[in-house]
C-alpha cells in the first residue's frame, strides 16, 4: 500500500499529476477542496459546519477537516493507497494525519514536491486564468500572495517529512509527460527499495 502526499505551489500541476498517479497505481485521490465541496453540496453535518467557517472567510478548523478525511479513508478501506492533495498544510495537521493513519494501521509512505520556478508558475497560472476565468489565477499580486502563503507553511512541513526520510522533490518543469515520468520513477524507486 502506498499513501503519499503531493506538494507543490499553485500551478505546479498537482491536480494533473495526482490524476495520473491515481490511475497508474490504483490509488484513491483525496483532495481537501473536493471533499469540502462534496460535503457542502450534500449538506452533510460536516459540510454545513465547514461552510459556516468559509462563509465568514475563516479557515476550516483542523478537527473538521480531519473528520472529513477520516470519512474518505474509511469509505475506501480496500484501496491500494491514497494520494492526499491539499492536506496537510501545517506540521500540526501532519501530526494529526499521522495519528489518524496510525490508528488505522496505515502511514504516509512518501511525500513528493513538484518543484517549479516561480516565473514558470506565474506564466502557467496566468494562462490558466485566461482559459478558466478564475480570478485568483489572473492577478499577479494574488498569485504572489498564494506563493508566500505556501512558502511560509510548507517549509516547516518539508522539514517534518525530511526528518522521517519521507520527503522527495522532483523537477516539475517541462511537458506534462516528462513530469509524469519523473514522478513515476520516484514512486517506483521507493516501492522497490
Which band of pLDDT confidence, cut at 50, 70 and 90, is reported for residue 136? Answer: low
Second CATH level (architecture) for the domain 2-117+154-192:
3-Layer(aba) Sandwich (3.40)
Half-sphere exposure of 184 (CA within 13 A, CB side): 14
Residue 31 has pLDDT above 70, yes or no: yes
pTM of the model: 0.84
**Which residues are known catalytic residues?**
14, 89, 128, 134, 146
In terms of C-beta density within 10 A (0-12 exposed, 13-18 middle, 19 or more buried), how is residue 57 classed?
A: exposed
Q: What is the DSSP letter of 136?
A: G
**Higher confidence at residue 144 or residue 99?**
99
First to last CA, the chain: 14
CA distance 9 to 20: 18
In the chain, what are the domain boundaries? 2-117+154-192
**Nearest by Cα to 66 from 45, 102, 35, 20:** 35
Amino acid at each position: 500500500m502506498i499513501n503519499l502526499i503531493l506538494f507543490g505551489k499553485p500551478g505546479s500541476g498537482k491536480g494533473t499529476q495526482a490524476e495520473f498517479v491515481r490511475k497508474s497505481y490504483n490509488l484513491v485521490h483525496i483532495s481537501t477542496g473536493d471533499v469540502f465541496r462534496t460535503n457542502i453540496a450534500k449538506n452533510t453535518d460536516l459540510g454545513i459546519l465547514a461552510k459556516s467557517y468559509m462563509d465568514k472567510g475563516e479557515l476550516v478548523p483542523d478537527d473538521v477537516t480531519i473528520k472529513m478525511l477520516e470519512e474518505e479513508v474509511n469509505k475506501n478501506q480496500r484501496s491500494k493507497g491514497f494520494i492526499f492533495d491539499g492536506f496537510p498544510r501545517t506540521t500540526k495537521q501532519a501530526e494529526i494525519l499521522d495519528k489518524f493513519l496510525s490508528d488505522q494501521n496505515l502511514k504516509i509512505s512518501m511525500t513528493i514536491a513538484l518543484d517549479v520556478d516561480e516565473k514558470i508558475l506565474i506564466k502557467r497560472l496566468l494562462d490558466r486564468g485566461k482559459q478558466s476565468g478564475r480570478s485568483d489565477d489572473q492577478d499577479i499580486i494574488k498569485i504572489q500572495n498564494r506563493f508566500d502563503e505556501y512558502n511560509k507553511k510548507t517549509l516547516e512541513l518539508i522539514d517534518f517529512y525530511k526528518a522521517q526520510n519521507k520527503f522527495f522533490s522532483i523537477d516539475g518543469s517541462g511537458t506534462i509527460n516528462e513530469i509524469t515520468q519523473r514522478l513515476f520513477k520516484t514512486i517506483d524507486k521507493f516501492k522497490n527499495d
